[in-house]
Structure 1
Amino acid sequence: MTKPITVWLTPSGPNPWKVITILEELQVPYTTHSFKFDDVKKPPFTNINPNGRVPAIIDPNTNLTLWESGAIIQYLIEVYDTKRLLTYDTLPEKHLLNQYLHFQMSGQGPYYGQCRWFNFLYPTKIPTAIDRYVNEVHRILGVLNTILEGKTWLVGEKCTFADLAFVPWNCQLHMVLGMKEGEPLQTYPNVRDWHARMVGREAWKKAMMVRRRLMMEQGLEASGMPKGVRNIVEYVQLIAKGETEGEGEGESGELC
């Protein structure tokens, strides 16, 4: 019998939900160790991941501790996707999938994250930084829209781990760009339709149910901050005072 994998995460950010969605798709048992963002740079989490970034997993079935979401996804696919539900056996397809996963890790994630930081979280508006990262977000969306022209999925005729890796950050696009929810993808119809196919999957819906529960437990807003906190400076000040204990009154915080 497969023992549950423990996923260490802070519930607000996108990256843990790539891993949770893959686990749900493969029906691999797991438990979550959810903790506050305040503690990502402290033990015991830094004993697991010295880089202090979520997610990380501990797999008792292989005695492996692993961090970096892309590496975790590749591991889960290699070890647990024995029926090739989210991957392929053939050489070209396997490497194309890794290509797109690397594109998500090196392109979508960092640029979306920096855009959200300067456009939404950082209290001082820096126009040159905002313009740079807004343009990069649109460039990434344009690349995806071109790749998906005439296609349902990135590789082959089925949804794979490479497709699913893009979902959590695309779900935060409205916060990344400071637009209304659902508005950013209207300019990119291929991405919009691809994204809609994925958020309709049962695995994603189940992952979002878990996220909603964990967000509520910590009293977090959809932005990932405690209720009433407006920006990162206020959040850092609260962390320093030790006043960020959640009261379970936040919004549901669903990504999509």
Structure 2
Amino acid sequence: MSHGKQFTLYALQAGPNPWKVAFFLNELGLSYETIYFDFQKAEHKAPEYLKLTPTDAFPPSSTTRTTTSPFVASTTRESGAILLYLAEKYDTEKKYFVTSEADRFAVLQWLFFQVSGQGPYYGQAAWFSFYHPEKLPSAVERYQNEIRRVLGVLESVLSKQEWLAAGKLTIADLSFSAWNNEVGGLLGPEFNFEKEFPATFKWHQRIVAVPGVKAGFALRKELTGY
């Protein structure tokens, strides 16, 4: 971990899950360094990485806090858990989180839906479309249909309200942005996000215009070319 940085984020350059953490770190103004792994070389399965996360999933985030001397280091893994940790520990003004119990559980419901619903289905669509050694059209179709189902769930809510929960932008909204930015590539050139899911598209555009998110996507494009 670099001296002077509050966090080390372990990530894939193109992998959506670490970027939602980077977006939130940017918005909170927290300092961090990012260590990128090469997915094609299976660097994320190296023994030193598995010491941080037994699931070999991205991202674990190591934090260094100056509350004692020397620094106190800890590690949090799973992107949803990291967002929640950052919100509870560092969003002191509750700009992206909430204070009431009702709002808290509303945010958590959507956060859990993202990590258990959106992420896995979009990820499987990406795997069977681009990485699986065999061409399996039925698998691609299944997960593309699941993407549309998830977008339909979002549309049913966002057609009635501006944000998912608590009447404002929260970590729940931020959590969906990285994978939703991939829907064009996952659903193919005939998919028209704005036409098929207009409220969700407008919501997504509001999120990607948030300065910390915008900066994150700009860096991702610099690193990956897209």
Q: Would the TM-score normalized by the shorter structure come out above 0.5?
A: yes
1:58 aligns with 2:45: no
- Mean alpha-carbon deviation: is it higher for 130-139 or for 195-204? 130-139
Give the Cα–Cα distance (whole angstroms) in 2 for the partners of residues 120 and 212 of structure 1: 19
Q: TM-score, normalised by structure 1?
A: 0.79
Give the Cα–Cα distance (whole angstroms) in 1 for the partners of residues 174 and 10 of structure 2: 20
1:171 aligns with 2:171: no
1:21 aligns with 2:23: yes
- Mean alpha-carbon deviation: is it higher for 83-92 or for 44-53? 44-53
1:211 aligns with 2:213: no
Regions of 4+ moved over 6 Å: none
The partner residue of 2:85 within 75, 80, 88 is 75
1:93–1:155 Cα contact (<8 Å) kept: yes
Match of 1:200 in 2: 209
- Mean alpha-carbon deviation: is it higher for 199-208 or for 104-113? 199-208
**Residues 44-86 of structure 1: CA deviation (Å, up to 9, x unaligned):** 2112112212111110115211111011111111110111010
Q: TM-score, normalised by structure 2?
A: 0.89
3-state secondary structure, aligned to 1:165? helix
Give the unaligned 5+ runs of structure 2: 66-71
**Residues 189-247 of structure 1: CA deviation (Å, up to 9, x unaligned):** 110110010111111111123323443xxxxxxxxxxxxxxxxxxxxxxxxxxxxxxxx
**Residues 26-49 of structure 1: CA deviation (Å, up to 9, x unaligned):** 111111112222201113211211
Match of 2:134 in 1: 124
Give the Cα–Cα distance (whole angstroms) in 1 for the partners of residues 206 and 30 of structure 2: 22
Give the Cα–Cα distance (whole angstroms) in 2 for the partners of residues 169 and 13 of structure 1: 9
Give the Cα–Cα distance (whole angstroms) in 1 for the partners of residues 87 and 175 of structure 2: 12
Amino acid aligned to 2:21: V
Give the Cα–Cα distance (whole angstroms) in 1 for the partners of residues 22 and 199 of structure 2: 25
Amino acid aligned to 2:52: I
3-state secondary structure, aligned to 2:62? strand
Give the drift of 1:136. Answer: 1.0
Give the unaligned 5+ runs of structure 1: 216-251
1:92 aligns with 2:102: yes
Amino acid aligned to 1:187: E
- RMSD of the alignment, in Å? 1.7
1:96–1:155 Cα contact (<8 Å) kept: yes
Give the drift of 1:163. Answer: 0.2
**Residues 139-163 of structure 1: CA deviation (Å, up to 9, x unaligned):** 1111100011221111133211000
Match of 1:36 in 2: 38
1:184 aligns with 2:193: yes
1:45 aligns with 2:55: no
